[in-house]
Chain A
Amino acid sequence: MTNAGEAGASAGVAGREYPAVAFVIDADRVAAFARAIGTDLADGVPPTFAAVYSLGATAPQLFGDEDAAVDFARLLHAEQEFEWKRHPKIGETVSSRGRVASDISRRGMRFVSFETETTGVGGDEVCRSRALFVIRA
Chain B
Amino acid sequence: MKQTVTFTNEQIAAYAAASGDLNPIHLDDDFARSVGLPGRIAHGMLLMGIAGTVAARAAGGGARLTRLQCRFAGMVVPGDAVTFAAEPAEAGRLDVSAANQRGEPVLTKSAAEYR
Contacts and interface: CB of A to CB of B under 8 A. Distances in A.
Given A77-B44, A136-B36, A32 B18 contact: yes
B15 A36 contact: yes
9 contacts: A36-B15, A37-B46, A38-B5, A39-B52, A46-B52, A47-B52, A48-B49, A48-B53, A72-B23
- Chain A interface SS verdict (over half): mixed
Interface of A: 29, 32-33, 35-39, 43-48, 51-52, 55-56, 72-85, 87, 136
B77 interface: no
B50 interface: yes
A32 B17 contact: yes
Interface string B1-35: 00101000001001101111101110000010001
Contacts of B68: 47-48, 81-82
Interface stretch (B58-66, B87-95, B97-105): B58-66
Interface residues of B, number: 37
Given A37-B46, A37-B49, A80-B69, A87 B62 contact: yes
Nearest to A29: B18
Given A36-B15, A82-B68, A48 B44 contact: no
A107 B43 CA distance: 25
Which of B25, B43, B68 is the most central at the interface, judged by chain A CB atoms within 10 Å of its CB? B68
A79 B93 CA distance: 19
